[in-house]
Amino acid sequence: MKFKKILLGLAVVTAFGLTGCNKPATPNETAGTQAPAQATEEQTADVAEVKTMTGEELDAIQGDNKKKDGVLVVDVRPEEQYKEKHLKHAINVTLDEIKENPEVLAEYKETPIILYCNSGRMSGEAAEILAQNGYKDLTNAAGVKEYEYQNLSNFESITAKKFLEMKENATVVDARPAKDYDEGHIDGAVSVPFDAVEENMDKIPEGKPVIAYCFTGNKSGEVATELAEKGYEVYNVLEGTKEYDYELVK
């Protein structure tokens, strides 16, 4: 009888010990293991996935005046490579600039951005940096050494923001019809309608940069092409008066 009591006591102690070893973890204890994983998921939930695009697809966008207005194409190569050969409506923001300041294109965080370089490596890296910094729609396109692009340019494309920074030191050309110029134009701009460039060459001094703008950047691109062929240093503004709230004068 005494022996049975001893065995019963040992069983109770053993059971208590096992229960103590296997008790459920408290919220404080689980916080150290599960919470970080949950936080990581929350942090990465809003990071955009970088898509890919063929050269043929991007070339088609560049050649379509309506489609090109819905995206921002960024050449991330060094400036000297961009100037040598670049896509018609592409701006130049180098990988180094994006590394140094991911907010360099902050006003386009909601805009579809297509990036390219020579091989896709630098543009892919740039796209990942932008994705980590809140840009919503990013695509890495085939590089200029991977696809023979047809829609190339002999002028540089710039954003409205860049234009406003540069315009004081350039000849600003309004490529819209004369009547639209008279109704309201950017202060200091001269009227050079896209279909009357030759007749207005006396308004464009040589040896000074020229910046052309219009309603949407298309007709001014035609003027920029013509002036570049004449030897001018030319910039075309991607966002025209219908796409950006410029302060216009009469």
Active site residues: 117
The C-alpha atoms of residue 155 and residue 104 are separated, in whole angstroms, by: 22
Distances (CA, A) of 196 to 52, 162, 177, 187: 41, 26, 9, 21
**Taking a C-beta distance cutoff of 8 angstroms, is the pair 194, 216 a contact?**
no
Question: Is the separation of the CB atoms in 171 and 205 below 8 Å?
Answer: yes
146, 105 contact by CB (below 8 A): no
Task: List, in order, residues 6 or more apart from 247 with CB less than 8 Å away.
Answer: 186, 187
CB atoms within 10 A of CB 114: 23
d(CA 95, CA 126): 6
* CA gap 122, 149 in Å, rounded: 18
Tell me which residue of 99, 161, 166 sits closest to 133, measured CA to CA. Answer: 99
Q: Degrees (nearest 5) of the Cα angle 61, 147, 95?
A: 80
